[in-house]
Amino acid sequence: MSDATRFRTTTRHMLKQSKEYASQTLMGGLSGFESPIGLDRRDRIDALKTGDIGFVHSWDINTSVDGPGTRMTVFMSGCPLRCQYCQNPDTWKMRDGKPVTLEAMIKKVDRYKDLFKATGGGITFSGGESMMQPAFVSRVFRAAKEMGVHTCLDTSGFLNKNYTDEMLEDIDLCLLDVKSGDEETYHKVTGGLLQPTIDFGQRLSKAGKKIWVRFVLVPGLTDSEENVDNVAKICASFDGAVEHIDVLGFHQLGRPKWHELRIPYPLEDAKGPSAKLRQRVIEQFQSYGFTVY
């Protein structure tokens, strides 16, 4: 198969016209962070294990859907899943991120702590998959809690065992991606296993943590009534920890990144859900007693 048939490309002209692409790609960049110098590969591996450094893709100050209030959202590099609808395939490889010291990250949180407190916001770790770097994330969360700053973990829960019970203590809110309600569909969507997500949600519930569930609705992939019902049953197993469920309609804003990285995009011609389909899914979740957005 030739490259011409395997890949579709986004022209430079198209990128210039795409404000959505720019916001998805650039976000907050890494301005204000200094990379550690003089560290060889072994030093970096050791510092990663202790949480003295983290590999960061970018960060942003926003008031969107990454938790309550105005938030500093930090996108960590590295992810074990390969979701078909991933918006940020440029975060898959940890080595593509920039090493940032724990001290630099804590200083950044401290700089904005008054804003966070005034707006009811805080810091959110996203990705990639933030649980690939549990030592760094948990140490930043510990420092944030000492400042009185709200903490939020955005995760698939796939790396459930990476997080200890002690680390859970410093999480105020978890944005938990429940990508499917059965193992077969979950594996098709992500290449991974569903059970670790369920286990992590139940651990959060037992620890008294609040959960906002995210479910991406992709016509022909995650939209079957059976799959949605199974997602609802999983959420019900979290014993009241779920404050609400966000039904996120699939869109094509991430497609230019797949093109730029020359990765074959499995949802090249997929469409977003219709209003009728989205309403059906919302009503399914509501029938289980959930607040749905």
Helical segments of the chain, H only: 3-6, 12-17, 19-26, 41-50, 102-119, 134-147, 165-168, 183-190, 195-206, 225-236, 255-260, 275-286
**Over the stretch 201-211, which tens digit does the pLDDT of each residue have?**
999 999 999 99
pLDDT of residue 42: 78
Instruction: Output the CA torsion sign for 219, 222, 226, 230.
Output: negative
In contact, 106 and 140? CB cutoff 8 Å: yes
β-bridge mates for residue 54, sequence order: 100
Amino acid at position 82, single letter: R
What are the tokens at 162? 């990476």
pLDDT of residue 13: 34
Domain map (residue ranges) of the chain: 3-286
**Over the stretch 101-145, which tens digit does the pLDDT of each residue have?**
999 999 999 999 999 999 999 999 999 999 999 999 999 999 999
pLDDT of residue 4: 36
Please confirm whether the linkage preceding 128 is cis (ω < 30° from 0). Answer: yes
Buried b (16+ CB within 10 A) or exposed e, 229-238: bbbbebbeeb
pLDDT of residue 43: 77
In the chain, what is the straight-line distance between the N-terminal and C-terminal CA atoms, in Å? 43
In contact, 110 and 147? CB cutoff 8 Å: yes
Query: CB atoms < 10 A from the CB of 104, how many?
Result: 17
In contact, 87 and 257? CB cutoff 8 Å: yes
Residue at token pair 């090493």: 99
pLDDT of residue 5: 34
CATH class in words for 3-286 = alpha beta
What is the block-wise mean pLDDT of the chain (293 residues), using blocks of 10 residues?
A: 39 35 40 58 82 94 89 97 96 93 96 96 96 97 98 97 96 98 96 98 98 98 98 97 98 95 95 98 98 97
Strand arrangement of the beta sheet that strand 150-155 belongs to: 98-101, 53-62, 71-76, 122-126, 150-155, 173-177, 210-217, 242-249
Candidates 96, 94, 105; CA nearest to 139 is 105
